[in-house]
Structure 1
Amino acid sequence: MRGKKLIVSIVMACFALSLFAGTAAAEKVLKVGIIGPFTGPSAKTGQEFKGSVTMAFEKVNNMVGDYKLEPVWVDSQSDPAKVASAYSEACERIGIQGGVLNWHSSTAVAAMDVAAQYKVPHMFGFGATEVVNQKWRSDPEKYNYWGGKGWPIPGKLMAGYAETIDNAVKSGKFKPKAKNVAIACEDTDWGHSAGDAVAAEFEKKGWTVVSKDYYPITQTDFYPLLGKLKKQNVAVMFSTSTAAPVTSAFIKQTREVGLKSLIIIDGLGWSGDWYKMAGAASDGVLDMIPQLTTQEAKDWAVEFEKRFGMKPSPSAGGLSYDGASFFVKILQRANEKYGKLDKETIHKVIVEEVNTGKLTYAKADGAIIMNEYRYNMDTMPDPVVARDGYFFPVIQYKGGVGKIVYPEDWAEAEFMAP
């Protein structure tokens, strides 16, 4: 009888140990918050985010050490209040230990406070606005949970437009009747930052900014605005929006009203399927986006389209893939250095190694868009903008293909005047 009891006790103990081991194994899950506009006016960008993150995590078999990576999709809905609520829930109820990506500047500003409140490190948010930088530098100890950005402030990139056009005027390729420019952008932190940056760069070159207009992010009727600009004989028209339906509607309507300006639409090519929406109206438009130049990048794009049924853009798709891959490298370093993954160890690696330039992510690591993503305390939270670092060329579209026209030593095609 005593032997039977002993056997039963041993069996129960083994069962308990196996149950405990199973529970312990189940706890080796790292929940990662992915902020993106998965619904709303920029939902196409959200689709590219999902595909890119999925591919980046699968590249390491969804594992870092013995932690399984579990993406938690945080829908910003392109709305600051909604992203704050959704991200708070992800931090508090779902228990994410880190985060990556974000599209809009306005939602980045809102999410920064949530990351700081819950001490959840977040990398590679695309919110480019100066407001993010100002907030970060106002209290680095608080806001360094919002790690290095995936898009620098517009002023660090936008100078290329003014340089391209001013060079074309000097060489005689572009002969405007007057050196004037009009700004028309979405009424968001991004729109204002980009519009102000471009205006400042043109003014440095001796151009006159004749008007600045800002429209709701959901607006698709631009006929009154474009009619006004046509009467002003505007030589250069600059616009930007983070919503693909808006940019495609804008460029189509410029052609319909007969606007003869040289058109810049920053971000026209952010959506992989942009040409399906904009069509031939995009011919001659200037944009500033990275390109899929290497064979690795082109192979990635083919695989992305095959799996998800949509063409990825270098910006929304390619940059988010690199950002998610960089985050995986950060996780690998944290696990290697501290032997565990949680928001504290991830944050330490970001502050001590990423922000100081010790840990970078380059072509040698598998980056497909930029030569190298690196940061230092002089640029934080922006990446280092340089030709061997983070850099956007100016491209001009024809027949749905964008070719580099600036810088001149990178040029693939001659600048086309309107």
Structure 2
Amino acid sequence: MKYFRKALTIGVVLAACMSASAQEQELPVGVVGPFTGPTARIGQDIRNGTEMAIQDATAAGELPVVVDGTPQRLKLVWVDDESSPEKAVKAFQSAVANSDIKLLLNGWHGSVGLALIDIVDSYKMLSFGNLAAPEDIANKINEKHYTHWFKGWPAPRSMSGLYVDAVEDFIAAGKWTPSNKVAAIVVEDSDWGRTWGDAILAALQSKGWDVVSRDVVKADESEFSALLTTYRAKNASFVAFSMNSPASAAAFVKQFYNTGLKALLAADGLGWSSEWYQMTGEASDYVISMDSPRVITDQQREWSQRYHAAYGSDPAPASAGHAYDYTRMLIKGLKAAGTLDRAKLSEALLNQEYRGVWQFYAFAKTAGDHAISPYEVKAGPFMEGFSFPMVQYLGGEAKVVWPEKYRQAEFSAPGE
């Protein structure tokens, strides 16, 4: 009888486990990114970061998550925008029709975000952590009172002006003495590029800089010699660009170097690829950038080492790191809400504050609360809001040179 009872107990436990396992369901979540096309390297980083988050959440016991009374594991559905707004819309509609996605996660391009924000609302779906930054997205949220689009990157005017603050600090501290205050700006032809350019133009002019050229180029442009010759003729001492394509950013840096222009170069977007040095070599020496989180804390170092071990390359924190953090944050939001009801899930995410590996994340409830609109991630100092330190590239390394509190190396003026 004793053995019978023991066997019966084991049988009941196994049956219960099998029953619980059988009740688990898959929750299809669409992950947006440029998985093919001119910025596919960034897409791969987004994919890696998202997958790593799922693995870590599972190991931490955060998955499966109970949603509407049922334990659910996230099934990732890759929504390939191919760096094209039109293709993004088609890929999203295909993911809805063929994979029955319930949520949208991550994303990169501003133009893609603008193309998706309205149509995602029409499907009564929620998008979380999309890194599309243009202010036009914040304006849509304000004008249409959207509550479904969690904008995961602050508007450019909250960020690009910091380049000018840093440069002015270098000048005031005697670390750089430019021959004049003549500047040139070049941006890609995208919503991100244009708004970034407008913001840094205003910041430069407010500090007495004469911006002699503001140029817009194709998103995949690779020939900049004519522009750089013009900047040299106008004796520009500061040149700033923003480009999403790693190939375009690297091409500009190399041609800038070959032109021999005696200016400080701010290369926004160069750090979005972990292979920046392989693509630029010594041409990247003395270039500054403030486009990405940087490895500062022990937690970030440990995460980066695990990423390298898993994927055989260094992470690009702007894409891989943010994708990781927003995926973990979404899972916590699902747990807090306990439902896919859009209003309830939106409220749970809006009320959540999350200290991730790379940022401290909180979404504004009103416009003006460190954000252009509600549902935009709040900008703020390191680990108090969304922000990046400035690095300077030198000898194949990117070291933080500003702000002073997190400085890893002294800023070196170009030509030293």
When normalised by structure 2's length, the TM-score is 0.87
In the TM superposition, what whole-angstrom CA distance separates every residue of 1:200-233 from its partner, at most 9, and x where no partner exists? Answer: 1111111111111111111111111111111111
Q: Distance in 2 between matches of 1:287 and 1:415?
A: 12
For structure 1, the residue ranges without an aligned partner over 5 or more in a row are: 1-17, 336-340
Aligned to 1:320: 323
Q: Distance in 1 between matches of 2:230 and 2:352?
A: 50
Residues 291-306 of structure 1 aligned to structure 2 (within 5 Å)? 291-306=294-309
Q: Distance in 2 between matches of 1:305 and 1:273?
A: 13
1:394 to 390, 393, 397: 390
2:257 to 255, 258, 266: 255
For structure 2, the residue ranges without an aligned partner over 5 or more in a row are: 1-14
1:213 to 212, 215, 238: 215
Runs of 4+ in 1 over 4 A off after TM superposition: 24-27
Change in Cα spacing, 1:297 to 1:409, as seen in structure 2 (3 Å) is closer
Q: Distance in 1 between matches of 2:184 and 2:333?
A: 43
RMSD (Å), alpha carbons: 1.9
Identity of aligned residues (%): 33
Aligned to 1:139: 144
Aligned to 1:415: 411
Q: Does 1:385 align with 2:397?
A: no
Q: Distance in 1 between matches of 2:172 and 2:303?
A: 40
Please report how far the alpha carbon of residue 26 of structure 1 lies from its aligned counterpart in structure 2 after TM superposition: 7.3
Q: Does 1:179 align with 2:181?
A: yes
Contact 1:374 1:389 in 2 (8 A): no
Contact 1:57 1:63 in 2 (8 A): no
Aligned to 1:59: 56
Residues 266-277 of structure 1 aligned to structure 2 (within 5 Å)? 266-277=268-279
Residues 10-409 of structure 1 aligned to structure 2 (within 5 Å)? 25=22, 28-61=25-58, 63-65=64-66, 66-140=71-145, 143-147=146-150, 149-288=151-290, 289-335=292-338, 341-342=339-340, 344-345=341-342, 347-350=343-346, 352-355=347-350, 358-362=351-355, 367-378=356-367, 379=371, 380-387=374-381, 388-409=384-405
In the TM superposition, what whole-angstrom CA distance separates every residue of 1:83-135 from its partner, at most 9, and x where no partner exists? Answer: 01111222233211111111010000001122111011011111110110111
3-state SS of paired residue (1:92): helix
Contact 1:88 1:114 in 2 (8 A): no
Q: Distance in 1 between matches of 2:325 and 2:386?
A: 12
Q: Distance in 1 between matches of 2:104 and 2:327?
A: 9
Contact 2:237 2:264 in 1 (8 A): yes
In the TM superposition, what whole-angstrom CA distance separates every residue of 1:129-184 from its partner, at most 9, and x where no partner exists? Answer: 011011111101xx32212x221011111222111112222333222222011011
Q: Distance in 1 between matches of 2:94 and 2:337?
A: 25
Which letter maps to 2:278? Answer: K
Please report how far the alpha carbon of residue 50 of structure 1 lies from its aligned counterpart in structure 2 after TM superposition: 0.9
Please report how far the alpha carbon of residue 280 of structure 1 lies from its aligned counterpart in structure 2 after TM superposition: 1.4
Aligned to 1:338: none
Contact 2:391 2:399 in 1 (8 A): yes
Which is worse superposed, 153-162 or 401-410? 401-410
Change in Cα spacing, 1:247 to 1:26, as seen in structure 2 (3 Å) is farther
Q: Distance in 2 between matches of 1:59 and 1:170?
A: 45
Please report how far the alpha carbon of residue 326 of structure 1 lies from its aligned counterpart in structure 2 after TM superposition: 0.9
Q: Distance in 2 between matches of 1:124 and 1:53?
A: 11
